[in-house]
Chains A and B, each alone.
Chain A
């Protein structure tokens, strides 16, 4: 054998080994908003996916109808563009021939991708989509584990505020869709509970100073502040509310406080802030919750996002459990996901149509630097405390 043949033989063997390994692995595809408008939000989701894949592989692989196979994640940057996300899922299914799909980040992306998975009959468990529009998606191939849907959040928030003796509120709302959708359902719910709205002001997403808005909040004398905010303006609110001495005992921020950077930026000053979220590691009834939290902190050095990281991990758990039962056959997977109850870090999850009907809409409060569920009572991990 010549040196040339030896080298060629070695190359061929290496390639064959690579092919064998690729055949063994279960390929799981998704798109992420690695760049663009939503790129700040995407890491919360991707870190959860990567942790899950690492844990699965460390335990010998994903159980596919009795056989353990390693997991290989395949992803592309959708540049925060929902149309691009749809193209990527088309490619993942048609060109990359992935075995399974995980979800992209955000409601518009989910809705765009829903059409693609529907046309291929390819099941996908969603995660970070929260809008009444998700109910427009044809049931069968897409499921949404979130319970933070605005038509549920509004009435629950109003009921919670009433239960804490709130008689009036000052509302600040970002003009972006999730905040406005929440506002749409919050206002009638507040009226129904007899809570007076003393101030209701919208603001743009690129707001750089809230002094005049917060001065109005202060002058309103409302019992509570409800800021339907996104992360950047939640940060702005906190810094300037402290400066202006906004001292309402009940202060709610819609999105932002669940991110670890928020607690890093405000420390004890953020204590007492109430926010949207339905998962906490302190809920002892959910046996998988604390191990997930500990594993996440051990891997990344900071706490998971209580909303997006938890939802992303839940969706992977659901997929894992369904594959263990049904294997990779799409028809069987659809049946299992549609009819089973799954044990997740957020407790049991069961779908009716596209919607999770087990997890209650809930609220979190920062208490002593820890996120506790404070509403509803049956899953609460701590009592609500005035700020």
Chain B
């Protein structure tokens, strides 16, 4: 019981949950809003991690200061993929099912290319660097600075994104496209521009998540897949396209993971996480925070 009430466990749940939320937000822009099945999302997290590693080891630049540049790198990849691969798909495909099927295949190819390109450039050897790993204590809670910063940066970004979407004209445009793409076009929303913006935001956020992950984990070209899975769990739990729901679902997933392991055993981790996921989908197919289709 002492363990369950410990602030240490709460801190770990918040760190993990906020990272899940951040990774989920990125995917929500691409899959939740424009229904492209981006199974390369975790590989963009990997690219962000390598960008942070490269900036730190080659230039001595802290990932904390390099975040805009790292986000810019992955956002540029997003823009390139949008114009090179997906713009025509989005313009010419009318059914959501067909769009999902086509994008799944395309993103599978993107995933393989990204992984193997990074393996060629950096080899498959794991990489890591020592940065911001001081432990600070506040009121009996010990926190590694890098994990504390990962928490603060993740929460700040997801909060800023949710505010941006709620109050900006761009956010309203995204909401309109999610509700009814054709109607959005009719009322004058530049759907192509909003979709490009979604790509740039989604990929940029994935890069930032990767930079934060690189502060606390070893990185390798094939590290992305678990993040892809986590992101899909988060956005499906939160309700497709529901950015705020996805953020809450991400944090919830972090809490489920940390506290279920503490209550039972670490060996049940995957069973518990995916058990909750399957149960939630069975009971609420539209996601915990999604609206039922009428």
Contact = CB atoms under 8 A, between A and B. Distances in A.
A36 B115 CA distance: 10
A244 B128 contact: no
B84 to A, nearest CB: 24
Interface of B: 3, 6, 8-9, 12, 15-16, 115-116, 119, 123-130, 133, 135, 142-144, 147, 216-218, 220-222, 226, 257-258, 261-262, 265-267, 269-270
Contacts of A235: 126, 128, 217-218
A231 interface: yes
Contacts of B9: 211-212, 215
Contact of A261 (B16, B116, B218): B218
Interface of A: 34-37, 39-40, 42-44, 175, 201-204, 206-213, 215-216, 219, 231-232, 235-236, 239, 242-245, 259, 261-262, 264-267, 269
A43 B133 contact: no
Given A215-B8, A231-B218, A266-B130, A201 B265 contact: yes
A43 B125 contact: yes
- For the residues of B in contact with A, the DSSP-based class is mixed
A36 B218 contact: no
Given A208-B257, A243-B147, 9 more contacts: A40-B220, A44-B125, A202-B267, A211-B8, A239-B133, A244-B142, A261-B127, A265-B128, A266-B133
A206 B123 CA distance: 22
A206 B270 contact: yes
Given A215-B8, A236-B217, A40 B265 contact: no
Tell which of B8, B9, B116, B220 has the most Cβ of chain A within 10 Å.
B8
Nearest to B123: A43
Contacts of B133: 239, 242, 266, 269
Nearest to B131: A265
A42 B135 contact: no
A132 to B, nearest CB: 23
Which 3 residue pairs are nearest across A and B when measured between Cβ atoms? A265-B128, A203-B266, A212-B262
A39 B119 contact: yes
Contacts of B222: 35-37, 39-40
Contacts of A36: 222
Contacts of B262: 211-212, 215
B144 A259 contact: no
B119 A244 contact: no
B255 to A, nearest CB: 11
B125 A206 contact: no
Given A242-B135, A242-B144, A215 B269 contact: no
Nearest to B124: A39
Given A231-B126, A245-B142, A211 B217 contact: no
Given A44-B125, A204-B267, A35 B119 contact: yes
Nearest to B222: A39
A216 B220 CA distance: 30
A39 B265 CA distance: 29
A219 B3 CA distance: 9
Contacts of B129: 264-265
A40 B220 CA distance: 7
Contacts of A267: 130
A34 B218 contact: no
Contacts of B130: 264-267, 269
A212 B116 contact: no
Nearest to A305: B125
A209 B124 contact: no
Given A35-B119, A202-B267, A235-B217, A262 B16 contact: no
Contacts of A44: 125
A262 B125 CA distance: 11
A264 B128 CA distance: 7
Contacts of B8: 211, 215, 244
Given A34-B119, A244-B142, A261 B128 contact: yes
A212 B261 contact: yes
B147 to A, nearest CB: 7
A38 to B, nearest CB: 9
Contact of A39 (B16, B127, B128, B220): B220
